[in-house]
Structure 1
Amino acid sequence: MDHRYICTHFGDDYHRFHGAVVPPIYENSLFVYEDFTRFVEAMKDEQNHYIYWRGTNPTVEIAEKKIAALEQGERCKLFSSGMAAISSAVLAFVRSGDHIVSVGNIYGPAIKFFRYLKKFGIEHTNVLSKNIDSIEKAIRSNTTVIYLESPTTMTFKLVDLPSVASLAKTNNITTIADNTWATPLFQNPLTYGIDIVVHSVSKYLGGHSDIVGGALITSQDIMDHIFYNEYQLLGGVMPPYEAWLLIKGLRTLPIRMKNHQESAIKVAQFLHQHPAVKKVNYPALKSSPDYELGQKLLRGYSGLLSFELKINTFDNVLSTINSLKLFKIGVSWGGFESLVISPNYGYNTEQLSEAGIDPGLIRISIGLEDVNELINDLDRALSSKTAT
């Protein structure tokens, strides 16, 4: 099914909503039944009946159908945040005495969550190397989950998803992959054998920096388990208004991603040639060590990348970021606006070293502004940083 059709029309069911071209927002907390017999029947299958907002809601369901189709998965459930989705996916497959392996640099709160689980007797190992042999060595007899992002956070290294999926299946381990960077348009981890895909819909899928939410996409069997346990019992579900905004964001996803990609490639090429820059972390560049793997796994590239300053002191990072005018300083990414941030806060050099992150690293999210203006902004900020 074509991506554009899925984003614009799939799941909208115009006939159900009196021909409304924009689906209505169902803000009601519950749905009533004409007789108790029908209610009892509906309770047998809460996933496919409207009973209570915390289970299934018509507005939320439309967005879920679109995202499931985009990711080529059987079911999707939307959550109130990316962390609600991540924690629900992980908790579905661990219990006291189990072990989690995470691969490469991943989202900071996800790492903190894995460490938090230690209080429940769940162990965690982070493997910085994306080498399949290193991942295999980290696996224990009690490992039940492998969690990863591809590309990885901040450093944007690609992970060989088919190899990790194959290794996990051999060892009866569940794989969870965050696909927020690539979006379903450019990568579908489920087709490589990954069990569960995670998205922060606050980023590209929403696209307008006006919602916070998360998504899980997986098989019907796995979703049956998550729906009746972690989804409903933890209660981190997406409200209908946020789902309505998400539907509107999805309408323009293919157009926005094309623009993000085209602009980011031009910015990356500019940075790659700049004398103040030591390295650009972006798999679309032919100079990237992951370029060939990207040609196999990815159909395109998003607008999030990082670069490392030759003079990698905190003062130089601070000066460079503060010199930018069009790039706004802020967390998150994937919206219409261009953003800049660094993991170097001036007091955490040791932690950066442990994570394999250069202290001169600056992350930028390329928005929808004119790319030449963005390049000029970067050039001005870097113009006094050319000393080597």
Structure 2
Amino acid sequence: MATVWEEVSQVVSFVVMAALELAPWFLLAVVLGVLVQHLNLDVLAKRAFARHGVVAVLTTAAVGALSPFCSFTVIPLISRLLRSGVPLSAVMAFWVASPAMDPEIFALSAAALGIDVATARLVGALLLSVGAGLVVLVLERRGLFAQPLRPSVARAEAAVARPVPVPATAGAPAVADGGSPADAPAASGAACGTGVEAPAAAAACDPGCAAPAEDPWADDDGTPWRTMIARNARLIDWRRFGRDVLRDARGLGGWLLLALVAMALVVRYVPTSLVSSLLGADGVAAIPLAAALGTPLYLNGVAAIPVVQGLLAQGMLPAAGVTFLLAGATTTVPAMVAVRSVVNGRVFAFYLGVAFLGSILVGLLVSPWL
């Protein structure tokens, strides 16, 4: 019988080997995510929200899947967009796609789970977000979801939007005529729920999700996107770029290490027969069960990948893994707290329903190809 130290040694050895295998892909993913931020590609999302109808849903879903936002960093932006009159259909498509997929998550998923599962996750995230947006669009045209914000959030946003004269002092920014405190730089840094929806969203902030230092949609000067990318590439401060890479690597690396430990424990101590019987034998039953497990077990996009990798090694169906990743990203408990802090009960119920049932449907659809 193995001693405790032998067991610990086996787990540590497994974690080290897995970390070395994932390290190049992890660093590539971090660099890619920081590059997206430094090129200021997030401002393209603002243009997507200026569209209407089906085009808006398709565009915002694509932008959400390519943007480095998680459920919590989009909360202040979503609140302002809804209050300013942006249709819920476009907002919902972006909101569902953003935590479910981004370039970093795709790269790590491809490295750890295989290109087939990563592609299925990407396609599933797009289908889920576009489907949610189109359903909301139909309901909007029938007069539903006219006021998606919670009454308290709507009142607070309205109060912030009203001009409030503030004397210019040494420690406080002046508010110009016709402006508002919301226009001040301090208000634009509502990262991870520091706006009117705090403290709920702030308490639920994902530690592994890097928040933008300021509102990324505030500085769109209308420059064509090709010109904007070329200009921003020339202006990159590479010292700051390196610091941001180190910052994100430290933050996400801690979660990845924790997830690798969980993966090692799953592979070593969870019987293969148990995982196969619950999540591998019957796809019709395994996929809904994977969606249910995603709510309590999903931590964040990075940490979930090794956990699913371990379950796949024990016999989990790949389609069930895709469902777990999609359902967990949108229905994890902190994400639900953050969402509920902004929208009313009807929108919240729709969000949960489309995330849970939609992820199951995606799993069933991709099952024949995985």
TM score, norm. by length of structure 1: 0.30
TM score, norm. by length of structure 2: 0.31
- Point out the structure with the larger strand share: 1
- Point out the structure with the larger helix share: 2
